[in-house]
């Protein structure tokens, strides 16, 4: 990436640009249709859409960190974690993000922030307790790659439309029915059309973000392995984290599941057709890629 020593990924850049274009187009169409159907509620729709977008873009890091129970820690409170982040940032030639720990037995890590200056990297207590130093560095390098490639910000914006589809529809229905009284034929049509449009918009935006999410995880694995020069350490961390998930109580995994798109590894793995809806590639795909990188580095 420009400004860092992480390996550039044109495939990721192309996919991010394409996803943002399609999401933007879908967003414009969605708001346009709502404005056409709910003429009386257009001020509410525009104000709400703009406010939500600004809030999610500027405060996404704080919202995600709060939702996942992350709290910032000083070098004195977490010297090993800060030391690993310091070494990787020096190796990658990038600004050091804020460092946080989430008090959870689920072994995982995540990064948030719209850019490198506002980034936060967090590891759970379960992850810190289970991984060796080299494995932890591999996971942290993976998360720092997300920050360097700016795909955290892209995922935040891309996921915005799905949230908006539900909220704006409810507000639009409320405003439209108040104006029409909820009794005439146009109101009856809105009852069918708006939930249908909302469902279609949500489904398309969901599939687009999931496809981008799976690729960006492979990209982050690749970038981390090349930066550290130890793909085997990252593979070991992946295997260990995924294996430990089966021992975590289901109630704890359910709490973590809504944030799967941010995490290093998903709380629940997908099988069969449901893999199309997964936020992460399979463990086999990730290990296969790391094996190829290891072989390439060995030949070099």
Among 7, 284, 3, residue whose Cα is nearest residue 142: 7
Is 143 an active-site residue?
Answer: yes
The annotation status of 217 as a binding-site residue, yes or no, is yes
186 close to 148: Cβ distance less than 8 angstroms: no
Tracing tokens 């990721």 back to the chain, one arrives at 12
The annotation status of 149 as a binding-site residue, yes or no, is no
**C-alpha span between 222 and 289 (Å, rounded):** 8
The annotation status of 288 as a binding-site residue, yes or no, is no
Handedness of CA 164, 166, 167, 171 (dihedral sign): positive
Q: How many residues does the chain have?
A: 300
Identify the bridge partners of residue 100 per DSSP, sorted by sequence position. 72, 122
Catalytic site residue from 132, 135, 137, 143: 143
**C-alpha span between 146 and 10 (Å, rounded):** 14
- The tokens for 268 are 């629940």
Task: List the binding residues.
Answer: 142, 146, 217
What residues form the annotated binding site for Zn(2+)? 142, 146, 217
Active site residues: 143
């Amino acid at each position: 990436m420009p400004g860092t020593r992480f390996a550039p990924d044109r495939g990721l850049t192309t996919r991010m640009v394409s996803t943002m274009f399609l999401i933007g187009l879908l967003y414009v169409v969605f708001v346009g249709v709502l404005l056409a159907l709910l003429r009386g509620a257009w001020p509410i729709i525009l104000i709400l859409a703009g406010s939500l977008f600004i809030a999610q873009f500027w405060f996404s890091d704080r919202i995600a960190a709060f939702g996942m129970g992350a709290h910032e820690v000083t070098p004195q409170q977490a010297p090993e974690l800060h030391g690993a982040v310091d070494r990787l940032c020096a190796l990658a030639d990038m600004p050091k993000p804020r460092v946080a720990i989430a008090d959870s037995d689920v072994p995982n890590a995540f990064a948030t922030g719209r850019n490198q200056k506002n980034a936060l990297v967090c590891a759970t207590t379960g992850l810190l307790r289970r991984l060796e130093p080299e494995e932890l560095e591999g996971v942290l390098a993976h998360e720092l790659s997300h920050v360097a490639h700016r795909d955290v910000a892209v995922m935040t914006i891309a996921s915005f439309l799905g949230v908006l589809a539900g909220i704006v529809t409810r507000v639009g229905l409320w405003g439209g029915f108040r104006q029409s009284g909820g009794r005439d034929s146009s109101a009856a049509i809105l009852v069918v059309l708006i939930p249908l449009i909302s469902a279609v918009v949500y489904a398309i935006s969901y599939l687009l973000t999931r496809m981008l999410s799976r690729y960006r995880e492979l990209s982050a694995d690749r970038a981390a392995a090349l930066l550290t020069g130890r793909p085997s350490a990252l593979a070991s961390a992946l295997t260990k984290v995924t294996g430990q998930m089966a021992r975590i109580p289901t109630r704890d995994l359910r709490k973590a599941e809504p944030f799967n798109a941010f995490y290093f590894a998903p709380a629940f793995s997908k099988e069969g057709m449901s893999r199309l809806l997964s936020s992460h590639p399979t463990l086999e795909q990730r290990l296969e890629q790391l094996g190829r990188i290891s072989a390439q580095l060995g030949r070099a």
